[in-house]
Amino acid sequence: MGTKLEKGQDSVVPLFFTCVETAYRMLVALTLVVTLVVLLLGYCHHRQQYWQSKGVYVPPMLPVIGHTYSLFSRKTNFYEIMKEYLMKSKSPYMGWYEGLKPTLVVHDLSLLKSIMVKDFDHFVDRRPLHLGNSDEVFFKETLFSLSGEKWKRLRSTMSPTFTSGKLKGIFPLIEAKCKKLIDWCLREGITRDKVEMNSLFNRFTLDGIATSAFGIETNCIDNEKDEFAIAADKITTPPGILGVLKLALLIISPRLFCFLRLRFLDPAINIFTRTAKETLKLRKNSERRGDFIDLMLEAKQEHGLDTAKSKYPVTDDIIIPQVVLFLFAGFQTTSTALSFVTGLLARHREVQERLREEIRSLIETYGELSYKAIGEAKYLEACLHEALRLYPPGTIIERIATKEYKFSSCRLPGTDLKIEKGTVVMANVWALNRDPRIWEDPNDFKPERFLPENKTPEQSFAFHSFGQGPRNCIGMRFALLETKLALAHLVLNMEFHLAPGHEGPLEIEVAFNGMKAKDGINLVFGPVQA
């Protein structure tokens, strides 16, 4: 028996030491992991103390991802979360962390005016785009994305294409699409139980911009299965969780996003790029029609290709991205504006009738809805601006500091903050447009506040739906012309009110890619009674 016990002990001892060694290794590994996690959290905490060390208010955030968590909210839009903190702090600015990167949200109008207008030379650029997918690289050459001298050159080249004279030439192209819209409403709209306005206006603006930008005739209004309509629907569909994750990565680590060659835009964008290339090739040997491509070709001819005279000549590789941008940025923002303004007019029938009377009066004066008549429609413009104030298609405006900048130069008491070169500065348009310190009854639809006799300088600058300063939306005048003309024709020919079951408060869909009503904007149409 004694011999057997000794043999058992001999087998137990190595097993014991093996277990101890394994436990020791696990403890070392766990200690190493914990140390790395602690070091990482410490590093992140240090990086996320940037604004606090400068005495800037910073809302609650999460380690590592900072305030980017707001993108993942399924109940509240990120710009609403940002607005709530701005209203609570009552500070002229607050710190915001995109992962570990500190950005600044500015809410004071005097500071914003310095950033966007007075000291624009310090904030010329927007955030650089790091898009690695080959199909999306063209977006880096758009006016929206360019920086520095190249942006200045292209902006000065393109600006003449949006003068009153040029827009007057495009006016008949837009008016033809407005008449097709009315034909559809009189033929199809009045026979339906309800019409979802965002879908209808998406198709209308696609037709309008297709003819104005590409010089091609699409039929999206009548044909929902048109190639352009299908592609546009894919591009504007709110993304799922994968899309949100990609956006978060693009914000937190743009270089990693680029390195991985991830795609941000839907592949449907390629249809517009291909169409722009084909149209440009054909147009060089065909009759001019006065659309956007013609205007860009005129700019190319005027500025020439002589690199000795111009460091940034206008070439086909420059024209094509601008044409695609014109459609991509224009159709959804315009359709969104039209959807919300018609929805508001349906809720406020007295405003709708007053607007109708203004349009009729202008037709009596000018004989038709001419370019000049639309320019004289003050109440029409007020209704549109008020809708854009309440529901801006773009909720955030960004600039990036190209030089070190001190707010003390703005002479605002208590603001001596220094902004380092490369810092992204943001304005929350949603918050500015609904701030009770700027607007009386900010959540109410009151077009009268935008009539010439009622506008104040403060409110004029607070209205950021098209941006402010030299880097505002270059297509603003075109967008306003198209929107006002469509709305005028619609009000003149149709009466509309909320569809049964849709009379409740308007809810906004939670998404980061635009402003959209949660259940759509559903109206009932009828012809105007004589």
d(CA 251, CA 426): 14
d(CA 385, CA 487): 13
Quick: pLDDT tens for 437-478: 999 999 999 999 999 999 888 888 888 888 889 999 888 898
Q: Is residue 200 part of a domain?
A: yes
Q: Is residue 283 part of a domain?
A: yes
Q: Which domain holds residue 120?
A: 53-527
Mean pLDDT calculated for residue range 426-447: 94
Q: How confident is the model at residue 2 (pLDDT cuts 50, 70, 90)?
A: very low
| pLDDT for position 10 | 58
Q: Residue 5 above 50 pLDDT?
A: no
Element (H, E) at 103: strand 101-106
Q: Is residue 33 part of a domain?
A: no
Residue 141, burial from CB neighbour count under 10 angstroms (0-12, 13-18, 19+): buried
Quick: pLDDT tens for 357-395: 999 999 999 999 999 999 999 999 999 999 999 999 889
CATH number at residue 203: 1.10.630.10
Residues in CB range of 18: below 8 A, 6 or more apart: none
Q: Which of 256-270, 427-441, 455-469 has the highest mean pLDDT?
A: 427-441
d(CA 442, CA 57): 25
**Among 25-39, 205-219, 287-301, whose mean pLDDT is lowest?**
287-301
d(CA 432, CA 442): 10
| pLDDT for position 13 | 64
| pLDDT for position 262 | 81
Q: How confident is the model at residue 411 (pLDDT cuts 50, 70, 90)?
A: low
Task: Give SS3 for 511.
Answer: coil
Quick: pLDDT tens for 171-201: 998 999 999 999 999 998 889 999 999 989 9
| pLDDT for position 133 | 64
Q: Is residue 39 part of a domain?
A: no
Q: Residue 483 above 50 pLDDT?
A: yes
| pLDDT for position 440 | 93
Q: Is residue 521 part of a domain?
A: yes
| pLDDT for position 300 | 76
Q: Mean pLDDT in the chain?
A: 85
Q: Is residue 437 part of a domain?
A: yes
Quick: pLDDT tens for 485-514: 999 999 999 999 999 999 888 888 887 667
Q: Residue 305 above 70 pLDDT?
A: no
Q: Is residue 381 part of a domain?
A: yes
The CA-atom distances, in angstroms, between 481 and each of 338, 368, 473 are 12, 16, 14
| pLDDT for position 233 | 78
Q: Is residue 218 part of a domain?
A: yes
Q: How confident is the model at residue 306 (pLDDT cuts 50, 70, 90)?
A: very low
Residue 314, burial from CB neighbour count under 10 angstroms (0-12, 13-18, 19+): buried
Quick: pLDDT tens for 60-108: 999 888 999 888 887 889 999 999 999 998 889 999 999 999 999 999 9
Structural domains of the chain, count: 1
Characterize the bridge pairing of strands 424-428 and 396-400.
antiparallel
Quick: pLDDT tens for 133-179: 656 667 778 888 888 888 998 888 888 878 888 888 889 989 999 99
Q: CB of 521 within 8 A of CB of 501?
A: no
Quick: pLDDT tens for 324-347: 888 777 788 899 999 999 999 999
What pTM was estimated for this model as a whole? 0.87
d(CA 30, CA 519): 50
Task: Supply the DSSP string of 117-171, one letter for each residue.
Answer: IITGGGS-BPPPP---STTTGGGGGSTTT--HHHHHHHHHHHGGGGSHHHHHHHH
Q: Residue 43 above 60 pLDDT?
A: yes
Kindly report the length of the chain.
530
